[in-house]
Structure 1
Amino acid sequence: MSDLTEVAGRYIAVWNESDEGKRAAAISDLFTADATYTDPLADVQGHDGIGAVIAGAREQFKGFEFKVLGEVDANHNIARFQWELVPAGGGENIVIGFDVVATDGAGKIKGVYGFLDKVPAGA
């Protein structure tokens, strides 16, 4: 497992963390203080901004969990991977996304650039 595959796994685990305090600690551990997160629905910077985006997604999609979909493709300090949002009890995904993660070379994420490939109607 490459270091960036591990980073991608930790990143997805942050999105699945239900405890707000543990999630905040995981964000602090995984992201640089000035990290950015940009996708079609959000453009934020810093731990609080990233935490707010994740909390909003968790609120909107209660009972669902994020999973890496396929392999993580990485080079230098950049990784790209697809992810899916599936019912926690199993079933078909309702969202598929594609994220590019840039790290600072020491394993902390400094930027996430996300794309949505499949979204539910009305989302």
Structure 2
Amino acid sequence: MELKQVLASYGAAWNETDLSKRLGFLESSWSDGGRYMDPAGTAQGRDQLANYIGEFQARMPGARIELTSDASQHNARIYFKWRLVTADGNTAIDGVDFGTLSDDGRLREIVGFFGAPPERTG
């Protein structure tokens, strides 16, 4: 699967409220033992990630994740930008995800960061 398709499926998983459909999106985009982490939590494997996404949706009803860039890629490493849009259409936060790809092209690891990097002080 092409990286654009993998990321489209991964992004769709974050916005899918039906667990079985969300797992379907993750099946095509997330490796079997993939690891996810961001400042709010972690998940190991597809089922945990699907549940983590469901918990996010319960905390932020009607919110959605929008991918705001294509991915930059080299040596099985990627990064891309996204934003969290609230139910009323406002951007709550911008972020960036860094990741690695498995041999079959699915995501093996994502490390998410919220907001812009801090300003340099010194």
Q: With structure 1 as the length reference, what TM-score do the two structures score?
A: 0.82
Identity %: 25
In angstroms, what is the RMSD of aligned CA positions? 2.0
Q: Deviating runs (4+, > 3 A) in structure 1?
A: none
Q: Which amino acid in structure 2 is aligned with residue 69 of structure 1?
A: T
> Do residues 65 (structure 1) and 57 (structure 2) align?
no
Which of 89, 92, 101 is 2:99 aligned to? Answer: 101
Q: Which amino acid in structure 1 is aligned with residue 10 of structure 2?
A: Y
Q: Aligned partners of 1:101, 1:34: CA distance in 2, in Å?
A: 14
Gaps of 5+ in 1: 119-123
Q: Which amino acid in structure 1 is aligned with residue 61 of structure 2?
A: K
SS of the equivalent of 1:110 reads strand
Q: Aligned partners of 1:116, 1:51: CA distance in 2, in Å?
A: 20
Please name the residue that 1:33 is paired with.
Answer: 32
Across the two proteins, how many residue pairs are aligned to each other?
A: 116
Please name the residue that 2:82 is paired with.
Answer: 83
Gaps of 5+ in 2: 117-122
